[in-house]
Chain A
Amino acid sequence: MRRCQRCGQKAVVYLPQHRLSLCKEHYIEWYLKRVESTIREFKMFGKDDRVLVAVSGGKDSLSLWDALCRLGYTADGLYIDLGIGEYSQRSRLACERFAKERELELYVLELRKEIATIPEIKEVESRPACSFCGQLKRYYMNRFAREKGYHVIATGHNLDDESATLLSNVLSWNMGYLSRQFPVLLEGDGFVRKVKPLVKFTEKENALYAFLSGIEYVEEECPFSEGASSIEYKKTLAQMEEKSPGTKLRFYMDFLRRLHPILQTQEVELRPCKVCGEPTTAEVCSVCRLKERVIPKLLSSSPSS
C-alpha cells in the first residue's frame, strides 16, 4: 500500500511523472498550489482581476472554476449552450447546479439566438463540427467578456489538450498556430486576455480533482467529437508517457521555454470586421462569413419558409 508522502496516511493517488503519492486531502492541496503557481508563473491574472471562466460542464472547466474560487479569485462562469440535444441539456444542468450550490454567477449564452445550433449548422456546413464550434465559442466568449467588462477569460485546457495540439502543429509545421500556442494570450485590439491555468495538469489529474472534490460533471463526450483526431494524438502520447513518465510535460514546457520565444517575430495585423466590428485579420471575420453562408441555407430549408 502506498502512503501519502505528506502525512503517511493511505495514498489515493500516485503521480508517476512527479513520483508523488498523496492522500485525498493532500492531493487537493497539491492541485490548488499548482494552479496558483501556474497563474503566477505565466502572470495570468491577480486577485483584483475579474475572471470569466468558460464552462462546458466537463471535468476540466468545473475543476478550474472550483479551484479559482477556493483560491480566492473573483470568477464568474459563462456557459455557451450549443443546442446539441440531450448532451447540451445535461452539460447546462451540470453548470447550473454547480453555480447554484456554490452561489456563483453563471451566464448562459444560447447559440441558437445568435446564429443557430451546432446540429443545424452541421446540416449545411461540410467542415467538421468541432472546427466551426471552436470558432464560434471563441468569438462569443470574447465578445461577451469584453461587453461585460471582464479582464480575463479562463479556459480549462489541460496538458493533454496542449501536448496533442502541439504534436499536431509540429507534424504539419503549422508555424502560425505554433507561434500562438501559449497559456496566455494578451489583451488588445478588441481581444480580452485569455489564459489556461490548467496547462500543467493531465486530464486524469483534473478528473481526480473533480472526483475527490465531489464535483458532478458530465462524463459523456460530445457526440460530434467521435473519431476526433485529438483523441488519437492523446493515445499516442499516453503510450509514450506509460513508458517514460513526464514526457508530455517536458514536450510542452520545453516548447514554451525553448521554441516559442523564437517564433515571436511576426506581428499580426488586426482590424475591426466591417460587419460586426469584432477584431479580425480579414475584412469580414470568420463568424460573419459563416453566418453569410449558413443563414440563407437554414432559412430556405426551414418548414415555415
Chain B
Amino acid sequence: MRVKVSYRGQTLELEFEGERVRVGELLKALGLSREYAFVVKGEDVLEEKDTIVDGESVRVINAISGGYI
C-alpha cells in the first residue's frame, strides 16, 4: 500500500506491506518520535493507534527545531 505524506514542504510517497498502516508505524518509518511529531488527516489529529489505508494522504508535523547551543 502507498501513503502520500506531506512533510515540511515536500510530498513523499511511502510504501508499506498490507492494506493499512498505523500512525505509530508511519512515524517510525520516517524516523520520528511521537514525543515531537504527529500526523493529521484533514482537520483531524490522528492517534498513534489510528490506521491509514491505501491511497490516503496525510500531513506529518515534526515539531522539533534546533540551533546551536
Say yes or no: B47 contacts A14, CB within 8 Å: yes
Beta-carbon contact of B45 and A203 below 8 Å? no
User: Are the CB atoms of A203 and B63 closer together than 8 Å?
Assistant: yes
Query: A96 to chain B: closest CB distance in Å?
Result: 19
- Bound-state Cα–Cα, A91 to B35, Å: 25
Are A228 and B36 in contact, CB atoms less than 8 angstroms apart?
A: no
Q: Which B residues lie at the A interface, using CB under 8 A?
A: 8-9, 33-38, 40, 44-45, 47, 61-69
Task: Report yes or no: A219 in contact with B61, Cβ–Cβ below 8 A.
Answer: yes
A231 and B64 in contact, given A2-B47, A239-B33 (Cβ under 8 angstroms): yes
Chain A residues with CB under 8 Å of chain B are: 2, 12-14, 58-60, 128-131, 133-134, 160, 164-165, 168-169, 202-204, 206-208, 211-212, 219-222, 225, 228-231, 233-235, 238-239, 241-242
Binding site secondary structure of chain A? helix
Please give me the 4 A-B residue pairs with the lowest Cβ-Cβ distance, nearest first. Answer: A130-B68, A231-B66, A207-B63, A228-B66
Question: Would you call A225 and B63 a contact (CB within 8 A)?
Answer: no
- Taking the closest CB of chain A, its distance from the CB of B25, in whole angstroms, is 15
Query: Would you give 23 A-B contacts (Cβ < 8 Å), ordered by A?
Result: A12-B44, A12-B45, A59-B63, A134-B67, A164-B69, A202-B63, A203-B36, A204-B37, A208-B45, A211-B61, A219-B8, A219-B61, A219-B62, A221-B65, A222-B67, A225-B68, A229-B68, A229-B69, A230-B66, A235-B33, A238-B33, A238-B35, A242-B34
Contacts of B33 in A (CB 8 A): 235, 238-239, 242
Q: How far is the CB of B31 from chain A (nearest CB, A)?
A: 10
8 extra interchain contacts, Cβ-Cβ under 8 A, other than A13-B45, A169-B69, A228-B66?
A: A12-B44, A131-B68, A220-B9, A225-B66, A225-B68, A228-B68, A228-B69, A234-B36
State whether A165 touches B65 (Cβ < 8 A). Answer: no
